Structure 1
Amino acid sequence: MSVTKDLQYKFSRLNIAEKLIVINVVIYIVNTLLAFLFGLDYGFLMRWFELPKAFGDFIVQPWSVVTYSFFHGGIWHVFWNMLLLYFSGRIFLNLFSAKTFINVYFLGAIAGGLVFLLSYNVFPVFSGINTSLIGASAAVMAVLLFVCTYLPNQEVRVIFFNVKLWYIGVFVVLLDLIQLPMGNSGGHLAHLGGELLGFLYAKKLMDGKDIGEGFGNLIDRLGSSFSRRKRSNLKTVHRSKRMNRDDKPSKQEYQKHIDAILDKISKSGYESLTKEEKDFLFKAGKED
């Protein structure tokens, strides 16, 4: 097996969060090396993809509301974003499909970009400031706030302590609000836009409404237009026994039912769950 094919195979085995991490890191390395080897300004390539502040500049490069999230300003910028994406992505993908992850991630990037763009053209405090937006932070924050909202009482290990996810969600939002006037205001505004999107997405999903469904369908159509592969009509369906929390099953039966639902999500996606299964999973996530 050639090195190229080996790398392609390994890449195909990664989950969607890990693939995005690889893409972001590769873009950072390529951008840095090109600037160094050809003696170019570091922002030479980046300026075609960064999100500009001015509406006039944005109109001529509308793709930048998404592409800005693939470029970073330094090694620590990309490192911390990708580290947070890795851990929040693991929690997310244990419950939901890659399609839902893509919806939250890219809608978070778009929401963060729009909050940045509107804020710098509406609020007088930003008048006369010439700046632009780069970084995956808004998209990553959307994923993080989604899991913090959907599984608020889920505990995770932070250094030496177990912390509930809702504590982490509140902390990062407050941190962005406090730091807003201290510097990097555009970045913190984008964070808040992504965080709001992640919070609303999770809340609506709890009510049985997927606010990213239209966006997901658009991505599917765009993907199919660039691919000639024929999709199989076969669909894997996993039927799990219905169980309500009120039935007071044994601890073993309760965990078995949760595992069956998670297995169904991994095979057919969150959208394949029945209303009863969604309600059961929601109640399980809220328990201490």
Structure 2
Amino acid sequence: MKKPAKKWLVTVALTCAMALTSVIPASAAFWNLTGDIGVHDPSIIKEGSSYYTFSTGTGLQVLRSDNGTNWYRTPQIFLQPLSWWKTYVPNNTNNDVWAPDIHYFNGRYWLYYSISTFGSRTSLIGLTSTASIGSGQWRDDGLVIRTTQEGNDYNAIDPNLTIDANGEPWLSFGSFGSGLKLVKIDKNTMKPTGSLTTIARRTTNGGAIEAPTITYRNGYYYLFASIDYCCRGVDSTYKIVYGRSTSITGPYLDKNGVSMLNNGGTILDSGNDRWKGPGHQDVYNNNIIVRHAYDATDNGAPKMLINDLLWDSSGWPTY
């Protein structure tokens, strides 16, 4: 249900190299980024003094910054498609890798990613890991979860790893269909154990909800998600919404008390005159939020935006 024109997105990502100016009104710092900032579906992490952003594209794209603001492209993760991908997603033949999520846990960097094709639920979430991002040496950890067009009403894309208050890992994922899902992860295998829980869904606008991000802070789990439509350049209607719960499995309620299982979600970012359709957000350390948006001053090219993330006196996110 997402990400059309992949070749166009990758071309933009590989050719985009320009400075951003601070045009988003915000009470927290909007990072003025320079260099190569062409991304779609970014996930950010810091190793040592360097930041890395992983994003959708050929072989899974990687950007690096040694100061957080100036970015440059480094080698992709997968030089060729892994042979086992075609067993589950036979129509993905061009090494197109979607929506990565990077986290450090138990001494390794775990990178979840998606293999799919536009408009299909024949999809998989895979896993690769490394002891050091800077080494460029990644281990294939295989299949995590899969779905099929005929057999599932949810989609195995857009993974996000969360470590709960007790140090236990969970994976959220999903796009359209019956909504966003959550499953417990085994610490040893980093693969699912137990049953799925639905944590958010929409019955309006074609069920357009995807890209979950869950983070824990001060007794609450916060679920961020993207609603409406990406991948349409300046016509994109993507928005970032959120809710919170005292339990990682929900229910997640927005600021008005509406459940995200019933079309709830308080809007955090719906864009502005320049930055259209912001979404597929990632929250890092509860104080940084990264997302892509489509630049109306550059023919709708998708680019990376980063803000300091703040929390108001009632514990709700803001920037």
Under a length normalisation based on structure 2, what TM-score does the superposition of the two structures give? 0.25
Under a length normalisation based on structure 1, what TM-score does the superposition of the two structures give? 0.27
Q: Which has the higher strand share?
A: 2
RCO higher in structure (CA 8 A, sep ≥6): 1
Higher Rg of the two aligned structures: 1
Q: Which has the higher helix share?
A: 1
